[in-house]
Amino acid sequence: MSNALEFQDVSKRFGRTWAVARLSFALPVGQSLLLTGHNGSGKTTLLRLLATVVRPTQGKVLLFGEDAALEREALRPRIAFLGHSTFLYEDLTARENCALLARLLGRPVREADGLLETLGLASRAEQPVRTFSAGMKKRLAIVRLLLKRPALALLDEPFGELDPEGILEMETHIRALSHAGTTVVLATHQVEHGQSLCTTRLHLSAGRAAST
Amino acid sequence: MSEARAPGLLRTTWVLVRKDLLLEWRTRARANALVFFALSTLLLFSFALGPDTTFLRRAAGGTLWLALLLASVLALGESFRVEQENSALDGLRLAPADPRALFLAKALSNTVLLTLVGLVILPVLSALASVTPVLGFGRLLVVLALGCLAISAPGTVYAAIASHARSRDVLLPLLLFPLLIPAVVAAAKATSLVLEGDPMLQFSSWLGLLAGFNLVYWSLGFALFPRVVED
C-alpha cells in the first residue's frame, strides 16, 4: 500500500523555536491518524506542513509520493484543511463563501447548496457570516472541506466550538470521509472522540514524536 | 474524490474580481470613507495653495493625483486586511487559486475602486480650480484609468508584503511612494495638459510614459506575486 504522507526527518523552526524537530513517520493511503499532544507540541505546525501552507526548514514532506514543497500547486486540489481559521469572508453570505470555492474548484454551485442543506445551514445561507455563531462558522468550514472531496483531510481541533449534536455530526462526516478512502489526519485534545475515528496515533511532545 | 475541471487563469481572475467588488459593495462604508478622504485632501491642497484661480488651475493635475495617491494607501491596505481576517488568503491559496490570478484580481479591483474615487472627486476639482477638460473628457478618462492602473499594480504587491508587517500602515507608503514618482508625475502632467490644452503636443509622450510604467509593473507584479504570497 502506498503512502499518503511521509515525513523524512522534518524540522520546522519559527525564529529560535523549533516547532517540529526531526520528525519521521509515514501514513498509508486511506488510513487515519490521530495527533495528540499538549498545547505548543507541534500539532498545528505539522498540519500546516501537510497543508503546504508552510515549508519545512529541514527534511522533506512527501504527499502521495510527491515532494510537498515542489509540487504544492498540483497537490493542493487533493488536500482540504479545517484549521483554527475558517478561511471565510465575514461580509459575504454563507452561500457566497461556498459558491466562491465551488467556482474556484470548477464545481457547480448547487453542490455547495446541497452541502449547506446537509449541514443544516440552508435557512441561514443568505445571511452574512459575520452574524454566525462560532459553531455555525465551524459548520460552514466543514461545508468547504466536504466540497473539495479531498484525498487528504487535515482536521485541527474539529470538535471545538461545536455543541454535542454538532460533535456527533462531525464524527459522522469524518467516518464518511474515511469510508470514501480519504486519508484523515486529526489533531485534537478530545482524545476519546479521536481514538474512535482513527487507526493510528502519534503523540507529540516539544515537536518530537513521543509515542505512536 | 472526483476530478473537477479547475478554471483557467482568466476565469479564476474574474471569479476573484467579482468577490472583491462584492465585498466592496457589502462594506460601502469603506468606499465612502475613501471618497471623503480624497475630497478632504483635495480641499486641503486647494486651501493651502490659496485663492489664486490661475495658480489653482495650473496645480489641478498635481492636486488630483496627490489626493488619489494618498487615498490609494487606505484602499490598498484595506484590500488585504479583509484577506487577513480568518486567513481568507490562505483559503484561496489552498483552494487552490492561481497566485497570478490573485494578483490580477486584486490589482484590477483596486483600479476600479480608485478610478471611481477619481470620477467622484473630478467635478469638485473642476469647481475648485475652475477647469474643464480642454482636450475632452475621454482623454481625461484615459489618463485617470492609466494612472489608477499604475498605482494599483505595484501597490497590490507592496500591500501584500506590508500586510505581514506589524507597522503595515507606515511601511506601505514608505515602499510605494518613491516607486510611484514617475507614474504620478506622468499622470499629473498628462492631466494638466488635458485641462489646460497642449500647444507643444506633449500629451502623447506623458501618456506613453504612463503606459510603459504600467507595462513594466503589471508584468513584474504578475511574475513576482506568487513568491510574495507563498514565501
Model confidence over B147-199: pLDDT tens digits?
999 999 999 999 999 998 888 889 999 999 999 999 999 999 999 999 999 98
Q: Between the CA atoms of B110, B113, B114 and B117, what dihedral angle is there, to the nearest 10 degrees?
A: -170
Using only C-alpha atoms, what is the Rg of chain B? 18
- For chain B, the first-to-last Cα distance in angstroms comes to 29
DSSP state of A93: B
From the list B41, B32, B30, the residue with the least C-alpha distance to B68 is B41
- The reply to whether CATH 3.40.190.10 applies to domain A31-44+77-211 is no
Give the distance from residue B216's alpha carbon to the nearest chain A alpha carbon, in angstroms. Answer: 26
Give one word for A59, left, alpha or beta, with left for phi > 0 and alpha for psi -120 to 50. Answer: left
Residue B69 lies in a domain: yes
Residue B13 lies in a domain: yes
Q: Which residues of B touch A177 (CB under 8 A)?
A: none
Residue where the block lists cell 513576482: B224
Q: What angle do CA A135, A139, A140 make, to 5 degrees?
A: 115
pLDDT score for A1:
64
Residue B39 lies in a domain: yes
The DSSP annotation for chain B comes to: --------HHHHHHHHHHHHHHHHHHTHHHHHHHHHHHHHHHHHHHHHH-S-HHHHHHHHHHHHHHHHHHHHHHHHHHHHHHHHGGGHHHHHHHTT--HHHHHHHHHHHHHHHHHHHHHHHHHHHHHHHT---TT-HHHHHHHHHHHHHHHHHHHHHHHHHHTTSTTHHHHHHHHHHHHHHHHHHHHHHHHHHHHH--TT--HHHHHHHHHHHHHHHHHHHHHHHHHHHH-
Alpha-carbon gap, residue B1 to B116, rounded angstroms = 43
Residue B24 lies in a domain: yes
Q: Are A61 and A69 in contact (CB under 8 A)?
A: yes
Residue B37 lies in a domain: yes
- Strand A17-28 to A3-14 pairing: antiparallel
Residue B1 lies in a domain: no
Cα→Cα distances A49→A69, A79, B40, Å: 9, 12, 47
Asked whether the beta carbons of residue B19 and residue A91 sit closer than 8 angstroms, the reply is no
From the list B17, B152, B162, the residue with the least C-alpha distance to B77 is B162
Q: Three-class SS of residue A8? A: strand
Q: Which residues of B touch A104 (CB under 8 A)?
A: 6-7, 12, 15, 92, 95-97
**Per-residue pLDDT for chain B (231 aa), expressed as one digit of tens each?**
445 678 999 999 999 999 999 999 999 888 999 999 999 999 999 999 988 888 999 999 999 999 999 999 999 999 999 999 999 999 999 999 999 999 999 999 999 999 999 999 999 999 999 999 999 999 999 999 999 999 999 999 999 999 988 888 899 999 999 999 999 999 999 999 999 999 899 999 999 999 999 999 999 999 999 999 986
Q: Which domain holds residue B28?
A: 9-230
pTM here is 0.93
**Site from B23, B94, B98 to mutate, A interface, most A CB atoms within 10 angstroms:** B94
Give chain B's contact residues with A (Cβ, < 8 Å).
1-2, 4-7, 12, 15, 19, 22-23, 26-27, 82, 85-88, 90-97, 230
Q: Which ipTM score applies to this complex? A: 0.91
Give chain A's contact residues with B (Cβ, < 8 Å).
51-53, 72-73, 76-81, 83, 85-92, 96, 100-101, 103-107, 128, 144, 149-151, 180-182
Asked whether the beta carbons of residue B26 and residue A128 sit closer than 8 angstroms, the reply is yes
Contacts of A132 (CB under 8 A, 6+ apart): A94, A124, A140
Using only C-alpha atoms, what is the Rg of chain A? 17
Half-sphere exposure of A161 (CA within 13 A, CB side): 18
Q: How many domains does chain B have?
A: 1
| pLDDT over 70 percentage in chain A | 99
What count of residues does chain B have? Answer: 231
Helices B203-230 and B137-162, axial angle in degrees (round to 10): 20
